[in-house]
Each structure stands twice: as C-alpha cells, then as structure tokens.
Amino acid sequence: MPWRARGRRVAEATPNTADNSVLLEGLVKRFGKFTAVDGISLTVRRGEVFGFLGPNGAGKSTTIRMLCGLLRPTAGRAVVAGYDVARDPEAVRQHIGYMSQRFSLYNDLKVMENLRLFAGLYSVPQRVLRERMDWALAMANLEGKEDLITGTLPGGWKQRLALGCAVLHKPPILFLDEPTSGVDPIARRQFWDLIHAMAAEGVTVFVTTHYMEEAEYCNRLSLIYRGRMVALGTPSELKRDGMHGELLLVDCTPLGPALELLQSAPAVLDAAIFGSALHLVVEDAASAIPLLKQYLAANNVDVQRMERIHPTLEDVFVSLTTGHGAAEEHKA
C-alpha cells in the first residue's frame, strides 16, 4: 500500500467521495490570453480506466499536469485522491503515479538501476524495496532483464519499464499521458493488458490518447477539442448517441469527384474519404439514399453500394469536433 501523505483531505469532495478518485469542477488553465483548458467538469470512479481522447494541442496534457499537481489551475477546482490540487499539490503527488508522453527514464542506467532510482524518489520503504522491484519487474514482464542497459531496450519494453517505475509505490491513481506513442501495435496491446490488470485490482487509470483504437479499451471517454469537453460516455454510448445524424457508407467511382459533389449536396451534413469509400453524415438515411443515388448517377458517378452503417469513434469524434469547431468560430 502507498504511504499516507501529509496533507488535508477535502471533506465531502463529492456525494460519494469513496468511489470517486478524481473530481473536476469547471477546471480552467490559461497561459496569458490563451485558454488551454476551458471549464472541464467530470468525475472518475475508483478502478475505472478513463480515457481523454483528442488531437494534439487539445488540452489533454495540460489537464493531466494540473491533476498531478504540476500546474496550478487558473480557475475551477480539481480533487485527486481526496486532495485539492491547488491547495495541497504535494499530497496529491504522493498518492499518484505519473507517466509522461516522453520516455522519462535514464537510458544509460540498467533496468534495475532505474527501478532503484525511482523507488528512492517515491520514498519506497527499505523493508519492502526488493519486493516492490521484483513485483514491478514481473508486472512489466522484464524478469531476467535487470542488467540490460535501458537505452538498448525495444520501445515496448521501455514503456513497460516506465510503467513499472511509475507504480513502484503502488499508488491508487495512475496518470498516463499518451503512454504508447511511438510503440508498435503488439506492444501497445500488451501495455493495455497491464493497464486493465491494475484496474482490476482497484487502481484508477486516467489515460490520454489520440489513437482511436486505444479509446475502445477505456471504460469511459471524454472527447476533448480546443480545451473543451465535447462528449462524455462509454465507447458504446458515444458511438450510439454521440453523432448528429446518420452515417452512410458509399462505394463509388470516381471517388474524388463524388466527394466534391456530395460536400455540397443538400441532404449531406458532412462527407469525407474513409479508406477506399466515402462516409456521409445525413439527417435521415432512408430518405437520403434514393435521392443521393439519383444525384450521383445524374453526375456520372457509378455507385456500387450505399448503405447505412454504425459509426466508429473516429466518425463520432470528427463529427463532434468539426461541428463544435465551426460553431465556435462562428460565435467568435
């Protein structure tokens, strides 16, 4: 178990504090005139794998750094492990594990030397030091590789080692900032297996990513765009309810001219190339399909297939952020 941090817990942070590991209420971070995080509110439950999904520059890392006590919020409130991040950042840091998006270990040290160094930084008691390092090696599947120089390890092994170092003190909450960036798909899947194994033991995992396929591994997701939360729910809920309109798959030739035609078609809300086909967002698929087939045929486009399909997270995210961005720019 992690040590008990010095600091004052926030009384009644939520109606059910024991079940909520992270609480955000109107969280804001400004850098001068630039607003990086704009009024985010959410809760993350104990043992939940919670995903922050958004493009680079959306405000994901800034939010993580505030929740880890590394940046002070400009406005709003954040409570992590029962401690207010603005009033008691040191207590917050003692109750969390943090893995940054850039590999942060020392490449010229051996695997065991990195583990020993981070155990010291996390003040792991000497009496359990060996047990904790052995546990981290086993968790990261690095047993027998203790004497390898860290810089010589493959990317996936490095990430597992970084995770092992981040959880040596067995924190109840773990923040992972784009932890699998640059890692091959097999190593990425193995890393997520480790994440779910820890969550099954009650660890809360808060992870940022811009990989759509990774988002499917999360229990719940918050979609972030330009510092704002544009959607919140399980992957299934977002795919079912997160999109305005219905989605059509269109196989046709020639593809480029068809896309140009459909982008200005009255029944089409949005159109984009998706692999070797097109994805169209329409208000009502049943009424749009015959009209669009006729429209394309009249413009010498050969349609092989046009049917309604279920949206992917990528479809939902593009639909929400495109519409949100357009609305914000219009307001400005």
Tell me the pLDDT tens digit for each residue of 196-226: 998 999 999 999 988 888 888 999 999 999 9
Q: What is the dihedral of CA 163, 167, 173, 178, to 10 degrees?
A: -10
List every span in the chain annotated with CATH 3.30.70.100: 244-310
Of 67 and 9, more confident: 67
Strands 302-309 and 75-80 turn out to be unpaired
- Angle, CA 208 vertex, CA 77 and CA 311 arms, to 5°: 110
Long-range contacts of 311-314 (CB under 8 A, 24+ apart): 311/239, 311/242, 311/243, 311/247, 312/212, 312/239, 313/53, 313/212, 313/215, 313/216, 313/221, 313/235, 313/238, 313/239, 314/212
- For residues 10 and 260, the model is more confident at 260
Residue 4 has pLDDT above 60, yes or no: no
Q: What is the pLDDT of residues 100-123, one digit of tens each?
A: 866 678 899 999 999 999 999 888
pLDDT digits (tens, 9 = 90+) for 264-291: 898 899 898 988 999 999 999 999 999 9
Instruction: Quote the pLDDT of residue 19.
Output: 62
In one-letter notation, the amino acid at residue 224 is I
133 pLDDT higher than 50: yes
**What is 244-310's CATH number?**
3.30.70.100
First to last CA, the chain: 50
Distance between CA 89 and CA 71 in Å, rounded? 9
Q: Domain 17-239 belongs to what architecture?
A: 3-Layer(aba) Sandwich (3.40)
- CB-CB contact of 62 with 27 (8 Å): no
Judged against a pLDDT cut of 80, whether residue 234 lies above it is answered with yes
Of 14-23, 41-50, 243-252, the range with the lowest mean pLDDT is 14-23
- Secondary structure letter of residue 172 according to DSSP: S
Distance (Å, whole) CA 70 – CA 189? 29
Tell me 85's DSSP state.
T
pTM: 0.80
CA–CA distance from 149 to each of 105, 111, 132, 153, 158 (Å)?
11, 6, 20, 7, 10
Tell me what pLDDT residue 103 has.
63
Nearest CA-CA partner of 44 in 72, 17, 66, 4:
17
Residue identified by tokens 């045929």 is 297
**HSE-up of residue 207 (Cα within 13 Å, Cβ side):** 30
Distance of CA 87 to CAs 9, 72, 128, 134, 171, Å? 10, 9, 31, 35, 20
CA distance 64 to 199: 18
Longest dimension (CA), the chain: 79
Residue of 304 and 179 predicted with greater confidence: 304
Task: Calculate Rg over the CA atoms of the chain.
Answer: 23
Give the integer Cα–Cα distance in Å for 142 and 120: 20
